[in-house]
């Protein structure tokens, strides 16, 4: 009796909100793949009301949305900030989740100093490799055994399959990818190591990614999975294009991770696809048609799109390890600000009140 009271008190302390017991998305897909969400600081440290019960009920995986990128983690040389990372991993452990760190090597959200010497000149190859390896050792080392997967390299290719000419590529050369994966593996041999990109459904891009990954694998470099970000629109890409990507990644010998799923329902000023953050247009009423609420038809189209995407993912559940939404609910999606700033978008399965949109997985 006294023991159960004590247990209740401990549980109440650990989970200030009642422990959710309804079946959530994660239960619905428990035989298929993990269901994840990218999260921010307010969602992992308890500041955003209702975020933790939503996470506990529906998700069994989380990804750091921005908090573990180079900029926030090491804004100045040797000055590391782990407040987000620590809160993020603690939240993931409370959820008993598959915890994904995003991302170690990327050309965006990486401060200029990383590529420069004390006089502002570009670093030479050896010094940049050293800096990259130190960053990886420090970050992966801190969360060794607790972060279960890392997006080691993000977005190294252009849509046409060419190498993206980033500072990493220009200053180190193609083998920056190999160096990054080798170092991550050395520091945490048990963490899953992922190469991540958008528009993997485009055949030329996918070909370049898979050739790179197979070449490295043949040299003994461990790459476990290929992340297809999944920044989609209502009608593009087609299910066939996505299915072909799943099949090709699997055939090449890698796990499929759907790493950043969302479905943009708003019009685009250009036919840009994917997630190139360098593109941005100013806000204007013309591009913000659902400012006061989404039309019932478009909401229906969105839910239908999600239902068919998940039917496809379920069909390939043996090849897909995880499906992660890029954001927890519509209110916290980056698509409210890209490619046009300050819009009201509805790209996720949970609305601004954190309710699951009607019609999804209703039998």
Bridge-partner residues for 149, per DSSP? 100, 192
Q: How far is it, in rounded angstroms, from Cα 88 to Cα 85?
A: 5
Q: Which of 263, 261, 271, 108 is nearest to 198 (CA)?
A: 261
Q: Is 310 a residue that touches ligand GLA (CB under 6 A)?
A: no
Residue 260 designated active-site: yes
- Please report how close the Cβ of residue 275 comes to ligand GLA at its closest, in angstroms: 4
Residue (24 or 347) nearer to ligand GLA, CB? 347
Q: Mask 109-138, x = binds ligand GLA (CB under 6 A)?
A: ------------------------------
Is residue 198 near ligand GLA by the rule CB under 6 A?
yes
Closer to ligand GLA by Cβ: residue 114 or 277: 277
Residue 24 or 101: the one with the smaller Cβ distance to ligand GLA is 101
Using CB under 6 A, pick the residue from 201, 334, 346, 350 that binds ligand GLA: 334
C-alpha to C-alpha distances, 69 to 5, 65, 80, 81, 195, nearest whole angstrom: 42, 8, 11, 11, 15
- Positions in 234-273 near ligand GLA (CB under 6 A): 260
Nearer to ligand GLA, 229 or 332 (CB): 229
What lies within 8 Å, CB to CB, of 352 at 6+ separation is 329, 330, 331
The CA-based angle 292-296-298, given to 5 degrees, is 90
How buried is 256 (Cβ within 10 angstroms: 0-12 exposed, 13-18 middle, 19+ buried)?
buried
CB atoms within 10 A of CB 297: 8
Rounded to a whole number of angstroms, the minimum distance from the CB of residue 277 to ligand GLA is 6
In whole angstroms, the minimum distance from the beta carbon of 218 to ligand GLA comes to 27
CB of 66 to ligand GLA, least distance (A): 7
* Residue selected from 275, 320, 328, 340 as contacting ligand GLA according to rule CB under 6 A: 275
> What are the structure tokens assigned to 6, written together?
């004590």
Question: Which one of the listed residues 178, 192, 255, 260 is annotated catalytic?
Answer: 260
Cα(206)–Cα(212) distance, integer angstroms: 10
SS3 152: strand
Per CB under 6 A, 88 contacts ligand GLA = no
Q: Which residues are known to be catalytic?
A: 260
**Chain residues in the site for ligand GLA (CB under 6 A):** 102, 154, 198, 229, 260, 275, 277, 334
């Amino acid at each position: 009796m006294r023991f159960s009271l004590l247990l209740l008190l401990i549980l109440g302390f650990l989970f200030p909100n009642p422990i959710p017991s309804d079946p959530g998305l994660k239960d619905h897909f428990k035989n298929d793949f993990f269901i994840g969400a990218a999260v921010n600081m307010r969602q992992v440290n308890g500041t955003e009301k209702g975020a933790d019960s939503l996470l506990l009920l529906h998700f069994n995986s989380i990804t750091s949305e921005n908090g573990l990128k180079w900029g926030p983690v090491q804004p100045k040389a040797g000055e590391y900030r782990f407040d987000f990372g620590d809160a993020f991993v603690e939240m993931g452990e409370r959820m008993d989740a598959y915890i994904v760190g995003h991302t170690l090597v990327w050309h965006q959200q990486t401060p200029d100093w990383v590529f420069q010497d004390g006089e502002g000149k570009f670093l030479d190859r050896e010094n940049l490799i050293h800096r990259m390896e130190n960053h990886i050792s420090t970050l992966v080392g801190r969360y060794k055994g607790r972060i279960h997967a890392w997006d080691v390299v993000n977005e190294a290719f252009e849509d046409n399959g060419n190498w993206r000419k980033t500072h990493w590529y220009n200053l180190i050369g193609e083998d920056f990818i190999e160096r990054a994966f080798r170092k991550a593996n050395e520091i945490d041999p048990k963490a899953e190591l992922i190469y991540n990109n958008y528009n993997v459904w485009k055949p030329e891009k996918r070909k370049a990614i898979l050739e790179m990954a197979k070449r490295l694998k043949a040299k003994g470099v461990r790459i476990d999975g290929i992340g297809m970000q999944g920044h989609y629109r209502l009608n593009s890409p087609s299910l066939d294009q996505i299915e072909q990507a799943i099949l090709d990644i699997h055939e090449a010998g890698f796990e499929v991770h759907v790493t950043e799923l969302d479905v943009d329902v708003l019009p685009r000023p250009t036919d840009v696809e994917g997630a190139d953050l360098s593109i941005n247009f100013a806000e204007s009423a013309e591009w913000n048609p659902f400012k006061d609420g989404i039309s019932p038809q478009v909401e229906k189209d969105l839910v239908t799109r999600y239902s068919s995407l998940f039917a496809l993912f379920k069909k390939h559940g043996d090849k897909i390890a995880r499906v992660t939404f890029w954001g927890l609910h519509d209110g916290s999606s980056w698509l409210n600000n890209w490619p046009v700033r300050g819009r009201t978008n509805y790209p996720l399965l949970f609305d601004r009140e954190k309710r699951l949109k009607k019609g999804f997985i209703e039998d």
